[in-house]
Amino acid sequence: MNEIKVYTEKVFEDIKHLDDNGNEYWLARELMPLLEYSKWDNFHKVIKQAMISCENSGIDICEQFPEVGKLSINVNGGRRRIIDYKLSRYACYLIAQNGDSRKKAIALAQTYFAIQTRKQELSEKEYSELTENEKRFYQRNLTKKGNHSLNIAAKKAGVKNFDKFHNFGYKGLYNGETANNIAKRKGLRYREDILDNMGSEELAANLFRITQTEAKLKRENIAGENNANNAHFTVGKNVREAIKKNGSTMPEELPTPDKSLKELEREKNRSIKQII
């Protein structure tokens, strides 16, 4: 245990950088040897796989893995431009998740970046001071990360049809409604993201469903696609029953926000451009 503490808190923190705005980041070329990769080509494959995981979670790759170039001087004194990446903490976590699990350093990195990422979550007081839309953005980001982790656990359990798997969870939480049913009830356009069109309370209910299903799959070592689907339905139903017992509003009865998070994001970007 002491070895893990020293390795994580010292080694990874030592190579952490801060940009002009105080945002932390790690450089891929500096992270590579710590994760016991000696060749860039091999490590670059892991980064690319992590990017796919990031994209599948609906999170902007450019924000998490911005590419930066640097000059490298070879033994003959010549210079050449090499690729590097400015990695967020979440990007480092995804790289560790997609790395060679046989490497001890990978397991340590997974633990370190997962724990440190959770530490960055807002305190209850800080959260209460956010506006409703800020709460929505915050909860939506957590559901994206949560669904990514859930998908990994579901895949290990044997799930292949992920749309069906997620619909089992929705059915449990929404009294039989699938994702398509929810979208139609909300009056959304074809393929419009239902989670982007939820208020913070509804998103929080779904986040609880997501995290508890992942925990159940891992805790009970659930194997087989049907068993995983049923587990997701059971958790969704249990969350629904908890909401009912607390006298809270059922998720399907909660109001749909006037604007989706994508609309709010576009408005924000337009405002920034006008200022510039």
pLDDT tens digit sequence for 110-131: 767 765 555 556 666 777 788 9
Q: Is the pLDDT of residue 271 over 60?
A: no
Same domain flag for 262 and 138? yes
pLDDT at 21: 67
Same domain flag for 116 and 133? no
CB 178 within 8 A of CB 118: no
Helix 40-56, helix 132-157: angle, nearest 10 = 120
Residue-number span of the structural domain to which 252 is assigned? 128-276
User: Which helix (H) or strand (E) covers residue 73, if one does?
Assistant: strand 67-73
Phi, psi dihedral angles at 229 (to 5 degrees) = -60, -45
Question: What would you report as the CA-atom Rg of the chain, rounded to the nearest whole angstrom?
Answer: 21
CA dist 169 and 206 (Å) reads 9
Same domain flag for 145 and 242? yes
Residue 83 β-bridge partners: 69
Average confidence score pLDDT of the chain: 86
**Residue at which a domain ends, from 120, 142, 175:** 120
Same domain flag for 166 and 245? yes
Same domain flag for 161 and 245? yes
Q: Is the pLDDT of residue 165 over 60?
A: yes
- The CA–CA distances, whole Å, from 25 to 30, 63, 157, 163, 178 equal 11, 11, 33, 34, 39
Same domain flag for 106 and 193? no
Same domain flag for 106 and 171? no
Tell me, rounded to whole angstroms, the distance of Cα 157 from its chain centroid.
19
3-state secondary structure of 223: coil
Same domain flag for 15 and 76? yes
How many domains does the chain divide into?
2
Higher pLDDT, 98 or 199: 199
